[in-house]
Amino acid sequence: MSILSGKNILLGISAGIAAYKTATLVRLFIKAGAHVKVVMTPSAKDFVTPLTLSTLSKHPVHTTFVDNADEDLWNNHVELGLWADFFIVAPATANTLSKMANGVCDNLLLATYLSAKCPVYFAPAMDLDMYKHPTTKQSFEKLKSFGNSIIPATSGELASGLVGEGRMAEPEDIVTFIENDILDKLPLRGNKVLITAGPTYEALDPVRFIGNHSSGKMGFEIAKASANLGAEVYLITGPTNQTLKHSLINVISVTSAEEMYQEAHKYFNQTNIAILAAAVADYRPKQVASQKIKKNDKTLVLELEKTKDILASLGDIKSNQILVGFALETENELENAKAKLKKKNLNLIVLNSLKDKGAGFKTETNKVTIIDNKNKVTEYQLKSKAEVANDLLKEIIKQLDA
């Protein structure tokens, strides 16, 4: 999954021959999972049709403040600017760039640009002499001083027949540039995060197992939030119905506590953050029957043995990693969580209680208390598990910055 997935992208198209490439650009943004709307200068319609772009984006394309079809409705440039997570002007002609740099507002695209609150990217496209002209260079520098990002033009054959700089970057390169630029600015860029999620199943025989009610949702939300902040994620998950596709997330599926132990140790030294959210079985059957156990007796006695403590074992060998554990308690919650934090050499522990309505297994929400290794206790209200994941990562980022 691209970092652009779920994002709102506003594409501004000005009147240059490179506008024909924007049909491909819209398709690539859609393929990346983004929502796309298009605003054009009136003259841009001479190079690519609004019908093509509206069909690809599945949204009306706007070129003027008032549509001829309904003169009572106007295209609200403020709403368009506020809707966008990212505004990309491509192609950005010398004329449009100059107007952007100097606050000229004589069409809908420029009015939207002046209203936008989001990051703005522009991909210049013009002939060689125009590209090298001092006023164009001045526009580039002025726009960059506003915080706008330039997607550099490339060299090649231009519409005039000249060969040189000024050719708009190819659509694939524009998407890659934006993705990399976003990632480079994210707070967890360059970090590798190990996350465990879900339950473990401990076999009794080839048919039956001992398990628990963990859905894995909390761990999956932490993995998604970590990747969205730029981290490379190793997600080790027990059996669960949760699914996740993201270019920065590597999913490793396991079944038992022993398998999770082995995989966690395999990846731990490669990571600098480890968040163990899985509900790992504390005990497993000492003997696993090779055939299905028959229902012959009124009672069945099982001898159980302890599983390896994954969290404690990582706490014993950690060097500079930030190690985070979870504690699901039913009594003496805070005291038990603090004891676990210290005993297992953790940086943070996330406490939740089965007594709290809406917390725990098989819910869309969670209510947690986060305790750090300086015994600072932070209580949070009932939130969605996605919001809890973001709260936890904020605390981890504070530890990284400390």
Q: Over the stretch 184-224, which tens digit does the pLDDT of each residue have?
A: 999 999 999 999 999 999 999 999 999 999 999 999 999 99
- Claim to verify: residue 205 and residue 180 sit in the same structural domain: no
Q: For residue 211, what pLDDT is reported? A: 93
CATH number for the domain harbouring residue 58: 3.40.50.1950
pLDDT in tens, 81-109: 899 999 999 999 999 999 999 999 999 99
Q: Across all residues in the chain, what is the average pLDDT? A: 92
Name the phi and psi angles at 368, rounded to 5. Answer: -125, 160
Confidence of residue 70 (pLDDT cuts 50, 70, 90): low
- pLDDT surpassing 80 at residue 353: no
CATH of the domain at 213: 3.40.50.10300
- Length of the chain in terms of residues written: 402
Contact 389, 229 (CB under 8 A): no
Cα→Cα distances 6→1, 2, 29, 30, 112, Å: 10, 9, 10, 10, 21
In a domain, 207, yes or no: yes
Give the confidence band of 71 by pLDDT, cuts at 50, 70, 90.
low
Q: 359: buried, middle or exposed (CB in 10 Å: 19+, 13-18, 0-12)?
A: buried
Q: Are residues 332 and 196 in the same domain?
A: yes
Instruction: Check pLDDT > 90 for residue 389.
Output: yes
3-state secondary structure of 237: strand
Higher-pLDDT residue of 332, 116: 116
Position 352 confidence tier, pLDDT thresholds 50, 70, 90:
confident
Reply yes or no on whether the pLDDT at 267 is more than 70: yes
For 13, 132, 157, the CA distances from 164, given in Å and listed in that order, are: 22, 10, 7
Within a domain: 247: yes
Q: Answer yes or no: do 357 and 385 share one domain.
A: yes
Partners of 194 in the beta sheet? 234, 274
Q: Please give the average per-residue pLDDT across 109-116, as a whole number.
A: 95
pLDDT at 295: 85
pLDDT in tens, 308-344: 999 999 999 999 999 999 998 778 889 999 999 999 9
Same-domain check for residues 207 and 254 = yes
Q: Residues 55-66: pLDDT tens digits?
A: 999 999 999 887
- The pLDDT of residue 6 is above 60: yes
Let me know if residue 295 belongs to a domain. Answer: no
Of 168, 184, 200, the residue that ends a domain is 184
Residues 109 and 218 in one domain: no
| 293 in a structural domain | no
Report the pLDDT value the prediction gives residue 401, as an integer from 0 to 100: 83
The answer to whether residue 69 scores a pLDDT higher than 60 is no
Q: State how far the alpha carbon of 109 is from the alpha carbons of 4, 60, 88, 95, in Å.
A: 22, 14, 11, 13
**Are the C-beta atoms of 228 and 187 separated by less than 8 Å?**
no
- Specify if 298 maps to a domain: no
CA 236 to chain centre: 18
Taking residues 248-274, report their average pLDDT.
97
> What per-residue confidence (pLDDT) applies to 74?
66
Neighbours of 51 (CB within 10 A): 10
User: What is the pTM assigned to this prediction?
Assistant: 0.81
Q: Which of 212, 336, 345, 390 is catalytic?
A: 212
User: Which of 184, 204, 220 represents a domain boundary (last residue)?
Assistant: 184
Model confidence at 271: pLDDT above 60: yes
Query: Do 152 and 170 lie in a common domain?
Result: yes
Q: Is the pLDDT of residue 262 over 90?
A: yes
Evaluate whether residue 158 is within a structural domain. Answer: yes
Domain boundary among 184, 207, 222: 184
Question: Any catalytic annotation for residue 296?
Answer: no
Per-residue model confidence (pLDDT) at position 402: 72
For residue 148, tell me if it sits in a domain: yes
- The count of structural domains within the chain is 2
The pLDDT tens digits for 177-195 are 999 999 899 999 999 999 9
Residue 9: partners with Cβ closer than 8 Å, 6 or more residues away: 29, 34, 35, 36, 37, 84, 85, 86, 87, 88
Q: Give 227-247 pLDDT, tens digit per residue.
A: 999 999 999 999 999 999 888
What pLDDT sits at residue 73?
Answer: 56
Residue range 252-270: average pLDDT?
97
- What lies within 8 Å, CB to CB, of 258 at 6+ separation is 284, 307, 308
Say if residue 17 is in the same domain as residue 108. Answer: yes
Quote the CA–CA distance of 47 and 14 in Å, as a whole number. Answer: 9
pLDDT above 70: percentage of residues in the chain: 96
Q: Show the domain range for 14.
A: 8-184
